[in-house]
Amino acid sequence: MEETVLLFNRMATKYDLWFEKEKLTFQIEERAFKSLFPFLRKPWLELGVGSGRFAKALEIPWGIDPAKNLLQIAKGRGIKVVAGRGESVPIFSEMIGSLFVIDTLCIVKFPKLLLQECHRVLMREGKIVIGFIPRGSPWGRFYLKKKKGSHSFCRLARFYSVGEVERLIIESGFSIQGIISTLFQKPEEVKNHEIPMKGYRPQAGFLVIVGERLG
């Protein structure tokens, strides 16, 4: 079992509690995804569902993750979970309407393979919804410092630029449909709710990119 999965199994409870500690940050990110709801075809699935915090908040019924201890927590939140990897999704082709990949691209070993699997399982014109912290943002720089300091979770993460994520999406058979920007407050200074903004804003600490399946 690879190091990342071992870490998340060992620290499943600590990871889940982060969402309580950073509740407002989580709610800001959640609001960005909810702004897209009218455009997303069902059924929905989350790859890298973790402890099910986003799946529960966004009413995503299904989740896949390789860390079984996290899946137990997600199951307790009412999510229908399957142990598996995004690089090899245990689902028939063209079965999913919208597929969520939230804070997961940075920790998978083969991100392009994951996105190609997303293309396979999505219906024609299905949507992929990717949430991530852009490397060049204030939040990206904040977590890069933590990575250099051997922070438990950050040390195994790879942070991508907006251009890198867009390129991966396009090379995997999707067209870019839009970007939502949010989390404009600086790390450790989040005190207010925010309204997500359309388009890419360099000062945003969290982005949601929507891609549509081609072919």
| 3-class DSSP string for 15-65 | HHHHHHHCHHHHHHHHHHHHCCHHHCCCCEEEECCCCCHHHHHHCCCEEEE
CA atoms within 13 A on the CB side of 40: 24
Top-tier CATH class for 3-213: alpha beta
Q: Is the pLDDT of residue 193 over 70?
A: yes
Q: Answer whether 46's CB lies under 8 Å from 102's CB.
A: yes
Q: Is the pLDDT of residue 147 over 90?
A: no
Give me the mean pLDDT over the 100-121 stretch: 96
Q: Is the pLDDT of residue 150 over 70?
A: no
Cα(128)–Cα(121) distance, integer angstroms:
10
* 42-99 pLDDT per residue, tens: 999 999 999 999 999 999 999 999 999 999 999 999 999 999 999 999 999 999 999 9
Cα(126)–Cα(35) distance, integer angstroms:
17
Element (H, E) at 165: helix 162-171
AA letter at 211: G
Q: Is the pLDDT of residue 102 over 80?
A: yes
2 or 61, greater pLDDT: 61
pLDDT the model gives residue 127: 98
Cα(37)–Cα(208) distance, integer angstroms:
13
Q: Using N-to-C axis directions, what is the helix angle for 23-34 and 12-21, rounded to 10°?
A: 80
Q: Tokens 């060992």 map to which residue?
A: 10
Distance between first and last Cα of the chain: 35
What mean pLDDT value characterizes the chain?
95
Cα(190)–Cα(114) distance, integer angstroms:
32
Give me the mean pLDDT over the 188-209 stretch: 97
* 15-47 pLDDT per residue, tens: 999 999 999 999 999 999 999 999 999 999 999
pLDDT the model gives residue 200: 98
